[in-house]
Structure 1
Amino acid sequence: MNLILVIEDDPRIQRALQRQFAAEGYEVHVEGEGPSGLAACKSMRPAAVVLDLMLPGLSGRSVCKEIKAWSPDTPVIVLSAVTEVADKVLLLETGADDYMTKPFSPRELLARVQAAIRRTHRKVEAILQGFGDVSIDLTRMEIHKSGAPVALTAHEFKLLRYFLDNPGRVVARDELLNDVWGLSFHLTTRTVDNQILKLRQKLEPDPANPVFFRTVHGVGYKFVPGV
């Protein structure tokens, strides 16, 4: 699958990205509005999406959130002139995989898109997994604890998926930021701690005394499913 979906309303950027991706052998499809871009993503299932934040019809944030709710593993790389940290952190909650501010280098964007695709392909494909009284259907993106459904955000799901792919291994906070978030802007490791806390609250029998998502002091975390 080598289709790149570009959702961007600036004709100059559309042309630049078409040239850059086509030169590397990718098929490129361009949409200039939020609703049509979202529909194209669902019908075409691209390898990655390059998404502008400021779009007619539906904001880039809303498009990203809907894409990630529908397909958490589809890489989304966001373009925007917005540079405030608060906006970037807000974007993180939508599940974006990377972020570039305008003006940008098309070659650097290409490299980041390819890196995001590689991260996705490295994931271990599985249909059903689980631990304790938690059952996980990765295909349907459904999680149940003691038979009751559990709602996870896009990034909570990505973090859980990463732990499922790396059981028993001590994972540093910086590694989680790079491999799960994959974002180009600065985030502190406190971001990881907050997300781990949310996973514990939703999936641990006793969040105050975690047995599955364990802290390794001074390093990071370790997922121990077989307890």
Structure 2
Amino acid sequence: MDADFVGDNIESDAAALANLGTILIIEDDPRMQKVLRRIFLEEHYAVVVAGDGQTGLDLFRTTRPLAVVLDLILPRISGRELCHTFKSISAETPVIVLSAISEVVDKVLLLELGADDYVTKPFSPRELTARIQAAIRRQRKPASASIFRFADCEIDYQSMTARRNGLPVTLTANEFKLLKYFTDNIHRVLTRELLLNEVWGYNSYPTTRTVDNQILKLRQKLESDPANPKHLLTIYGAGYKFVP
């Protein structure tokens, strides 16, 4: 029996037994397709593969995957356009971009388009699966109340408005995201690396100083005494903790 045929049967059996959901891979390099397919089959996901943007879009609509691994340089429809389209169809489906392009501007652009994370080729299979699983966990978190109140602050996450002592407070989109993660994890000590990965969606860019600066700004806007915070607390040697 042909060895390639046996290998295909093994992968098909693994896909049939998978019960974690379907990963859609959109990649035009056949060798990379094979590598990615095997990685996710070994993690017990079902896998569907598209070699061009239009096929990827068709499969996204028909399979409604658990997550998407998306190359940027594709025939027919570009990865950037696909990312935007996927998020307009199903905003909750995680999209992890996989590309050899590593410039910071591309990372920022993709995050603005709605990508949940960005992994640069060459990559570690363990890192890629960890990023996918983290993105899926973030999307599966139960919905929490839209309005959160603590001390003299009222935060409406749905309308992205904040008030302190009844007066409007202007928060940036990233400040809302960071504060939301804190209020979803009350009393839990959160490391800077965890906050980068869970809030920004990646852990190599920017730097942990970005977290410190964002928390400093939140304290200035929401704490009655920013120099002696009562809610956004520093846990020295560990990270930060939110106490209502």
Q: Distance in 1 between matches of 2:21 and 2:113?
A: 24
Question: Deviations 1:136-193 (Å, cap 9, x if unpaired)?
Answer: 45xxxx54557x9x9975x666534422311344534333113333425343123335
- Residue pair 2:223, 2:231 contacting (<8 A) in 1 also: no
Are 2:206 and 1:176 equivalent residues in the alignment? no
Aligned partner (choices 16, 24, 32) of residue 5 of structure 1: 24
Q: Which residue in 2 is equivalent to 1:134? A: 155
Q: C-alpha separation between the residues in 2 aligned to 1:3 and 1:76?
A: 13
Aligned to 2:82: 63
Matched, 1:187 2:216: no
1:18/1:73 Cα in 2 relative to 1: closer, same or farther (>3 Å)? same
Instruction: Say if 1:196 and 1:37 are closer, same or farther in 2 by CA, change over 3 A.
Output: farther
Query: Percentage identity across aligned positions?
Result: 53
Match of 2:50 in 1: 31
Q: 1:111 to 1:133 in 2, by over 3 A?
A: closer
**Structure 1 residue matching 2:32: 3-state secondary structure:** helix
- Is the alpha carbon distance of 1:130 and 1:63 closer, same or farther for their aligned partners in structure 2, counting shifts above 3 Å? farther
Query: 1:97 Cα deviation (Å)?
Result: 3.9
Distance in 2 (CA, whole Å) between partners of 1:96 and 1:207 is 36
Q: Residues 128 and 136 of structure 1 are in contact (CA less than 8 Å); yes or no, is this contact kept in structure 2? A: yes
Q: Which has the higher contact order (CA 8 A, sep 6+)?
A: 1
Alignment of 1:1-227 (within 5 A): 2-34=21-53, 37-38=56-57, 40-41=59-60, 44-65=63-84, 67-68=86-87, 73-106=92-125, 108-121=127-140, 123-126=141-144, 128-131=146-149, 132-137=153-158, 143-144=160-161, 158-193=177-212, 214=232, 216=234, 221-223=240-242
Structure 1 residues 182, 134: CA separation in 2 closer, same or farther (over 3 Å shift)? closer
Query: How many residues of Structure 1 are paired with residues of Structure 2 in the alignment?
Result: 216
Q: Following TM superposition, by how much is the alpha carbon of 1:48 offset from its aligned partner in structure 2, in angstroms?
A: 1.7
Bigger-Rg structure (1/2): 2
Contact 1:98 / 1:184 at 8 angstroms: preserved in 2? Answer: no
CA distance in 1, matches of 2:216, 2:76: 36
Paired AA for residue 29 in structure 1? V
Unaligned runs of 5+ in 2: 1-19
Aligned-partner residue type, residue 156 of structure 2 = S
Cα distance in 1, alignment partners of residues 233 and 85 from structure 2: 32
Q: Which amino acid in structure 1 is aligned with residue 22 of structure 2?
A: L
In 2, Cα distance between equivalents of 1:88 and 1:65: 14
TM-score (norm 1): 0.65
TM-score by length of 2: 0.61
Between stretches 215-224 and 14-23, larger displacement belongs to 215-224
Would the aligned equivalents of 2:147 and 2:154 in 1 still touch at CA under 8 Å?
no
Deviation at 1:30, TM superposition (A): 2.3
Could you tell me whether the CA contact under 8 Å between 1:124 and 1:165 is conserved in 2? Answer: no
Higher helix share: 2
Residue 50 to residue 217, structure 1, CA distance change in 2 (3 Å): same
Change (3 A) 1:54 1:156: farther
Q: CA deviation at 1:17?
A: 2.1
